[in-house]
Amino acid sequence: MDNQDGQINGLNLHLDLKDVGGVWANFAAIKHSDYEFTIDFARLDFTPEGANGVVVSRVNISPLFVLQLIQALETNWSEYSKKAMPPEVRDNQG
Predicted confidence at residue 54, as pLDDT, reads: 97
Q: Give the pLDDT confidence of 51-85 residue by residue, as tens digits.
A: 999 999 999 999 999 999 999 999 999 999 889 98
The pLDDT of residue 33: 97
CB neighbours (10 Å) of residue 37?
A: 16
**pLDDT digit string, tens, across residues 17-41:** 998 899 999 999 999 999 999 999 9
The C-alpha atoms of residue 46 and residue 35 are separated, in whole angstroms, by 34
Q: Cα separations (Å) of 49 from 45, 52, 80?
A: 11, 9, 36
C-alpha of 76 from chain center: 12
pLDDT of residue 89: 74
Length of the chain equals 94
* Measured distance CA(25)–CA(34) in Å, rounded: 26
So what's the pLDDT on residue 14? Answer: 87
| pLDDT above 60 (res 88) | yes
Three-class SS of residue 61?
strand
Q: The whole model's pTM is what? A: 0.77
